[in-house]
Amino acid sequence: MGKNGLSWRSCFSCYGKVRDSPSPGRDEKRTTRQKSQRGRSPQQLSSSDLSNVTSLFSPEDLSLSLAGSNIYSFTVAELKAVTQNFSTSHLIGEGGFGQVYKGYVDDKLRPGLKAQPVAVKLMDQDGLQGHREWLAEVIFLGQLRHKHLVKLIGYCCEDENRLLVYEFMARGSLENHLFRRFFASLPWKTRIKIAVGAAKGLTFLHEAEKPVIYRDFKASNILLESDYTAKLSDFGLAKDGPEGENTHVSTRVMGTQGYAAPEYIMTGHLTSKSDVYSFGVVLLELLSGRRSVDKSRPNREQNLVEWARPWLNDPRRFSRIMDPNLDGQYSTKGAQRVAALAALCLSNSPKNRPTMKAIIETLEPILELADDQPTGTFVYTAAPQNGGGDAGKATPRGDEAERHREREPPRENGNQPPHRHNQNQGSRNRNRSHRSASYTDTALYMNSPRQIRGRAA
């Protein structure tokens, strides 16, 4: 963005008591201007100021501070209207922050506002996240613009109500597609495309004029557009990177179990390589179809990193970690490269982990290699309805196949033949009832040593 964006100094200089009356609706058209997608002014943001926040602020002053950022200020009444009073029929997910509803906005709500579906996140005042995370989200996404970051459209700060309004991501989270029972299995090429997109989002943050450490990279925070373009969401835990001669940022340990780098958990020292470790965990999830932590599995398999690490650099045995639902339809050479990359990202020494830019340079050729692989092709056999005659066969391909494929229990052999014949099962078509998107939030390391010592974030 340009240098005329939000300044933390202007934002925090106006702290005081929240007005007794609700924030009035603002009908004026926000200033529209082109925003650079690379970097920010060094004076624009210092998230360490959040640790000094002890009181709430004037919503009018926040709105003035965000002027020119194309972020709209809404009232509770307006957001109730676009979600039909936060109807349960519009509920699309919930997490540590609160519930998320689907709505629709247009220029009748604000002049110049693009007509589009939106996701409205309503803060649960008794939830795991609160005002500080809400403010961080507004500030970071109010200034950052990139193809692989979810777009913040607006916010609401009225009395004690805190809401966020985002662009609606039609395919929901990566977590749903990898782990939910009634979601079709992602083809190999789609998985690599998602990894590349997420890597580009992290690279943008790390290489901005004032670098940002995301701190909560995980499958549930990677949202997908209809074409599976990946975007990072939930910046409530994001931090500014180290400045000058500093090598790290010292902070209390917050994040999600199974994704946080070991040195960060032990010391509270946060660097961009902490994000790289988390990226390696997500790579393993994409390869294996397993969660980073799964208590339902045998003890030796509950932690994905510990279970998979011995196989990652073994070309003869790495197939043991591959997702059985891929049915062997992946480039063996490409999968080996991804496994080796994951091993580098998961190195116990942060210095040995690659940069996000180097990760992109490794993944993009693998995506090109995936173009030569079949994606989503299978054969199923439908049993005749009258009990006789030849069985009918259908062969969906590509996206059509993805809509028809069903998740199956894991099999012992990760490399299944590319075609499945099932003569006794009958039709695979089922009535599926699932929401089109799901947004989940952050689980905290509430009992970590750094948390207990109570160091400020």
C-beta separation of 249 from 50 below 8 A: no
Q: Is the dihedral of CA 279, 281, 284, 286 positive or negative?
A: negative
Q: Which two tokens stand for residue 185?
A: 């299995």
State both tokens at 90.
Answer: 């519009």
- Report the interhelical angle of 188-206 vs 272-288 (nearest 10°): 170
**Residue pair 103/83 in contact by the 8 Å Cβ criterion:** yes
Which two three-digit tokens encode residue 70? 């194309």
* CB-CB contact of 337 with 302 (8 Å): no
Q: Which of 216, 275, 323, 441 is catalytic?
A: 216
234 is catalytic: no
CA distance 317 to 167: 42
Instruction: Please give the Cα distance from 67 to 281 (Å, whole number).
Output: 38
Contact 370, 334 (CB under 8 A): yes
Q: Please name the amino acid found at residue 375.
A: T
Cβ contact 164:152 at 8 Å: yes
Binding site for ATP: residue ranges? 121
Are 252 and 457 contacting, i.e. CB atoms less than 8 angstroms apart?
Answer: yes
Catalytically active residues, by annotation: 216
